[in-house]
Chain A
Amino acid sequence: MINEIALNDWYPVAMASELKPGCRLNRVLMEREIQISNDGDKTHAFEGSRVLPLQIRYDHVWTSLGAPARPLFEIPEGEQDGRRLVACGRVHVRCSPLRAVENFLDIAHFPYVHTGILGAEDHPEVERYDVEIDDEKDEVWARQVKFFQPQAAKSAEGGIMADYMYRVPAPTTSILYKTCPARVGEWDIITLFVQPVSETTCDVWPWMALYDDETPFNDLVQFQQTIFMQDRSILENQIPALLPLDPKMETPTRADLTSIAYRRWLKRRRMFYGAQTIAA
């Protein structure tokens, strides 16, 4: 069942760069077939003959099957001068859209899933960090996250303690603010925009806004694709396929605080599309 909450949110369905004049893209959003078309000067989204709301931001096309309850979230940093904006295409995954977001919020898997890149087996410890559900903004934030990384970014050389912040501005979007190797004091932004295809399948659109004038564009894209494809086999093998909102069958620890806060927030705002809502 698609609940109202899920229906009324904004979702990414295409990269802006795909919108060539005359193009017509077929997409599936929450089990419904929709079309994105460009008539030369304007882009439209339809479900059958019904016109859907549409906006183009952060290099992606966003639409909604319902009446969006609130505007699309802001990423002010993404609009700062001097950043390189990198849309990485989409990766289809047989997992709940919520699991894709949850995994993105997790650092403890770096040593085993992203071995030698984002983590190392001899530095697995997760230090204490702060998590907050911001009721006013209706967002989840994790701050003061630190983790040892052998190669934190394409432009990083040698291991560093990377500083992270995570922000969940919408149930199917996660934004990572990460130590910027090229510009001290600034944050690189790496986001995961998730398009729910069904409750157990999704298309993931990674997008980055980086201060990095040196790394070739293609290397940036492929670094991000490498990381996400390492996650993909994990995501397709978690049981149950739906994200449990009652962790009775699981054993979260302090390192899972962001994941648990994310689930708590989903539960509170009654976003159940892709979630397991029966008591485990």
Chain B
Amino acid sequence: MKLYDYVLSGNCYKIRLFAALLGIPYETVAVDLYPGKEQTRPAFLRLNPAGTLPVLQDGDLTLTDSSAILTYLARRHDPTGQWCPQDPELLAQLVGWLSFADDLTRTSGAARLHAIFKKPIDSVAAQKGAHALLRRLELHLCDQEFDDSSFLLGKAPTIADIACFPYVALAPDGGVELDGYAAVQRWIYAIRKLDGFLPMPGIHPLHEHPDKPLPEGLNARLEA
């Protein structure tokens, strides 16, 4: 299985993160999205006429949409069905969140590309759009907490969480701060705390894990 990848892309990170959580082996091909704009060149366009990343190749299958890839990986590699539930109600909600994730890409993701690479877009509108989505996410996550659930669809994470996570956690890169979104911050923590979690630039590994000890030298000093 081969992932055409750009390390700073939140959409590519969705696939890397999910593969890490499930322990799925794959190889990566780094695509020079920036500064090279390799996705606009003929060789890449033959692979994906849409000129977008990520692209996943598995045998003869080529998938070019992060939500499609997440769905495929979940159905193929997660026999428990936890990550992509088939219950009609849950599945419908899941599809809704996958769409929400694309809205996040168009707002938070666009604001980030503007802030980092000066992509010429209306940055203020993108930031405003991102805040509108974060408010909706906050409302939903509060509801979930009232029902003792930490994730978008319940007590267990699904690909809905994976799809929405990157451009929420990376929002500060684009000047969209998360202060004041208490439930969103708790949800980010819950995802970072998952076994096998993989960080990306802009999203720290879980330094604050309760099981992580203090540095050895400091411990010795405190006990002395």
Contacts and interface: CB of A to CB of B under 8 A. Distances in A.
B49 to A, nearest CB: 21
B34 interface: yes
Interface stretch (B103-111, B134-142, B188-196, B199-207): B199-207
Given A15-B35, A88-B35, A233-B202, A222 B30 contact: yes
A77 interface: no
**Most central of B35, B38, B118, B205 by chain A CB within 10 Å:** B35
A227 B202 CA distance: 10
A203 B115 CA distance: 11
B36 interface: yes
Contacts of A229: 8, 116, 173, 201-202
A218 interface: yes
**Most central of A88, A94, A112, A221 by chain B CB within 10 Å:** A221
Contact of B38 (A91, A116, A218): A218
A203 B205 CA distance: 27
A194 B116 CA distance: 14
Chief secondary structure at chain B's binding surface: loop
B30 A230 contact: no
A112 B162 CA distance: 25
Nearest to A227: B201
Contacts of A116: 205
A89 B35 contact: yes
B117 A92 contact: yes
B118 A92 contact: yes
B199 to A, nearest CB: 8
A226 B7 contact: yes
A233 B30 contact: no
Interface in B24-68: 30-32, 34-36, 38
A225 B31 contact: no
Contacts of A226: 7-8, 201
B201 A218 contact: no
Contacts of B6: 222
Interface residues of B, number: 24
Contacts of A115: 204-205, 207
A31 interface: no
B172 interface: yes
Interface in B1-31: 6-8, 30-31
Contacts of A88: 35
Contacts of A216: 30
A8 to B, nearest CB: 26
A123 to B, nearest CB: 11
Contact of A217 (B8, B32, B201, B202): B32
B180 interface: no
Contacts of A89: 34-35, 117
A125 to B, nearest CB: 9
Interface in A126-159: none
B30 A121 contact: no
B215 interface: yes
A109 interface: no
Nearest to B175: A94
Contacts of A112: 207
Given A227-B201, A233-B173, 14 more contacts: A89-B35, A92-B115, A94-B175, A115-B205, A122-B216, A217-B32, A218-B30, A219-B30, A221-B30, A222-B30, A225-B34, A229-B8, A230-B201, A233-B202
